[in-house]
A and B are shown apart, each in its own frame.
Chain A
Amino acid sequence: MHLRNFILFSNIDSFRFALGVVPSEGLQANNEDGLLSLVAKGDGQAMKKCIDQYGPLVWSIVCRRISERNDAEETCQEIFTEVWQKAESYKPSVARESTFIGLIARRRAIDWQRKQNRLPLLTDLESISEASAATPLAGINLDRELLWKALEQLPKKTRELFTLHFVKGMTHEEIVQETGLPLGTIKTKLRRGLIDARKFLKDFTPEEASKR
């Protein structure tokens, strides 16, 4: 391969990842080995690795909600700045590093959407340190498999709205245009869905989940 192709990727892992040699999930799972604790100590190399490892994930979340390229890049910078600032508050017992960073990225990306509508920003309501200080979800440590199973308990319409909001990154106004549903209905169903998802998740034990 020509050398010029190589400059697109910051390291061999991301290069291999781009070629599809390494599955994305595997790459993340294998490397979640305490980078944030090093970042919390001001380790510049760890921060670089953090950007290499989670940058593509952050960029994916950002691009889902922010259409302006320059704004997307600035938001990406803000996200990693916040990751650096909040790294000390990260607790491996509560969530994975990718979830911690994904939470920050999601909040910043939504804030960009809210800023366009002149609404108060989420980042002003609560700091990530407060959220990460919470104990893990009772007895399950936010098991992804259990969460997916819990989601299956939600009504089909709610799951469809979840897809539009979480997967496609649509604002409620965009979902109104997509589905034709009233804004109030969408708002209520999404909120109710999130509340129910937490309830189902709490009700689940791994044994119960395997039975279902």
Chain B
Amino acid sequence: MSATGTYDRFEELDAGRVLGDLSIDEVKEWKELAPKQQSENSGEFDWIGAELELRNSEPCPLSSSLITRLNDTIPVFTNKSVSKPSSSNIISIIPWLGWAAAACLLAFFNLPSGDGVQNVSAELAQAKAELSDKAKTITDLESAKQELAKLNENLSGELATESGKIDALNTQIAKLTEKLPLLQKFESLIQDDSDTQRLEFASASDPYKGLSGEVIWNDEKQEGYMSLENLAVNDPTQNQYQLWIVDPERDELPVDGGVFDITEKDGKQIIPIRNALAINKPVAFVITLEQPGGVVKSKQEVVVALAKS
């Protein structure tokens, strides 16, 4: 490109710079050409552009909030050690001033004063824009508030659910804690004494088909326990389970082994044997369903389970 061509191109780019329409590539090109082509006339486009901009600019009075904002920067301006005031040094707009300005403008707008009315109209437009901004902020805040309320509601629901789970777990822990001593005794009786009898329960009628479990008994200690699973929960006001111990050496009639209830459907239930009389050589253990409180002699109308040697 000739010297004239290069100058013409730079002149065009420089005009584009002042017009603010340089593309990214043109900016690069301008930067390459500027060191050689810039002259004492380089600022002329800037001045012409500024004059054209100012030509039809009708000064628009500043809102009081903006004046405050600008004036608040003056201490920073006068501090020569600071090269540029940061936004943190600038006092924000006092919120009510915008509303006060709008109210004043409304009053001012009613005055019949020629050009003044035009200027006040501009102020009014600014105040309206300010009010619009505030209205938008309020709408946004209300929207955020609704979102928070919804979130809070969801969290409360989740919290209630989790609290329910925790309560259930606590109940379970309490029950297990309650069962623990019996379990320990059950295990202890099995492990420590070789002469402990251990018999398996089998269901004795269809309604109790899924039942399983065992009974352990120690003659010397006169102590024994039942371990039962899948035995139906009973209503103590209607009927109760009763254990019978068959000991032919003692009597032909079974000995009462105690009345008990099943309160939980799931899990292993440990029931201590509460024999009314001393037992010598038990050969069988029978569970029946009886009236509340049990009976002295069972009619064996409902035989639940049987364990025999």
Contacts and interface: CB of A to CB of B under 8 A. Distances in A.
Interface of A: 2, 4-5, 7-10, 14, 17-21, 24, 28, 39, 42-44, 47-48, 51-52, 55-57, 59-61, 63-64, 69-70, 73-74, 76-77, 80-81, 84-85, 94-95, 98-100, 102-103, 105-107, 110-111, 113-114, 119-120, 122, 125-126, 130-135, 137, 142, 144, 147-148, 151, 162-163, 165-167, 172, 187, 190-192, 194-195, 197-198, 201
10 contacts: A5-B108, A8-B108, A18-B120, A19-B115, A73-B69, A99-B51, A102-B51, A102-B57, A122-B17, A191-B19
Contact of B54 (A2, A98, A107): A98
Interface residues of B, number: 77
A113 B19 CA distance: 12
Interface in B114-133: 114-120, 123, 129-130, 133
Contacts of A64: 57
B46 A197 contact: no
Contacts of B87: 74
Contacts of A142: 47-48, 51
B16 to A, nearest CB: 5
B60 A60 contact: yes
B48 A20 contact: no
A112 to B, nearest CB: 10
B15 A194 contact: yes
A14 B64 CA distance: 12
A8 B64 contact: yes
Given A69-B130, A125-B27, A5 B107 contact: yes
A5 B54 CA distance: 28
Given A44-B75, A125-B30, A61 B57 contact: yes
A77 B63 contact: no
B20 A114 contact: yes
Contacts of A70: 133
B54 A57 contact: yes
A166 B52 contact: yes
B55 interface: yes
